[in-house]
Amino acid sequence: MIDLYTWTTPNGRKVSIMLEELGIDYNVHAIDISKDEQFDPEFLKIAPNNRIPAIVDHDTGIQMMETGAIMLYLAEKHDRFLPKGDERWPAIEWLMWQMGGIGPMLGQVHHFVKYNAGKSAYAEERYSNEAKRLYGVLDRRLEGRDFVAGAGRGEYSITDMSIWPWVSRFDWQQIDLSEFPNVRDWYVRIAERPAVQRGYQVPKYVTDVPMP
């Protein structure tokens, strides 16, 4: 059984979507980051970087922070949602693009554009431009594909599950998805999956899954 420590954020939802896609039982522990619960000493024993999400897998004794590692761990443990052979490394490549680009940059857009508009014109412009650049990169990657990684038109994988929750905040990022039609179609394709609908509501309901 897996214990998932999480909150209603893009990084948290990556892992709850994966667990729902795997269809395995797991316990959810809400770590309310608006109340600084990520600094609780008990949580820090699992996640020393004081960020959600984290997991404890009681089947293997492994505890883990950092969603890139968690998604790879779950994919390998269950032998699902990670393309094989020649397609494996491109899937990891685009997963790392999410970890190093989409996540940190869109996170800054949320800080400066949504929550602190007017405090720094420089930061708003820099991160908004970076967001548009990244959406453009994703749009070009999805040209002729249904999913980000995998052969042919692609196969649904942890790479999609990791990028998708960040794109689900397109509204916060003031991104018009009609400017990125491949991203919009991919976003809707994934949003319609029942496991994604369920995983989005972990650890609690905040809104319906946003639709463009």
Ligand X SMILES: N[C@@H](CCC(=O)N[C@@H](CS)C(=O)NCC(=O)O)C(=O)O
Tell me the residue type at 22: L
Residue numbers at the binding site for ligand X (CB under 6 A): 9-11, 33, 38, 50-52, 66-67
Nearest to 98 by CA among 137, 64, 156: 137
Question: Of 95 and 182, which CB lies nearer to ligand X in the complex structure?
Answer: 95
Under a CB-based contact definition with an 8 Å cutoff, are residues 91 and 83 in contact?
Answer: yes
- Taking residue 92's Cβ as centre, other Cβ atoms within 10 Å add up to 20
What Cα–Cα distance (Å) separates residue 17 from each residue in 86, 129, 177, 207? 25, 29, 22, 16
Question: Of 78 and 111, which CB lies nearer to ligand X in the complex structure?
Answer: 111
Vertex 114: Cα angle to 112 and 120 (nearest 5): 25
Smallest separation, CB 48 to ligand X (Å)? 12
Question: Of 38 and 182, which CB lies nearer to ligand X in the complex structure?
Answer: 38
- Residues shown for the chain: 212
Smallest separation, CB 153 to ligand X (Å)? 27
Question: Of 11 and 128, which CB lies nearer to ligand X in the complex structure?
Answer: 11
Question: Of 52 and 109, which CB lies nearer to ligand X in the complex structure?
Answer: 52
Vertex 23: Cα angle to 76 and 192 (nearest 5): 105
Smallest separation, CB 47 to ligand X (Å)? 8
Smallest separation, CB 85 to ligand X (Å)? 26
Smallest separation, CB 152 to ligand X (Å)? 29
Q: To which H or E segment does residue 17 belong? A: helix 10-22
- Taking residue 124's Cβ as centre, other Cβ atoms within 10 Å add up to 19
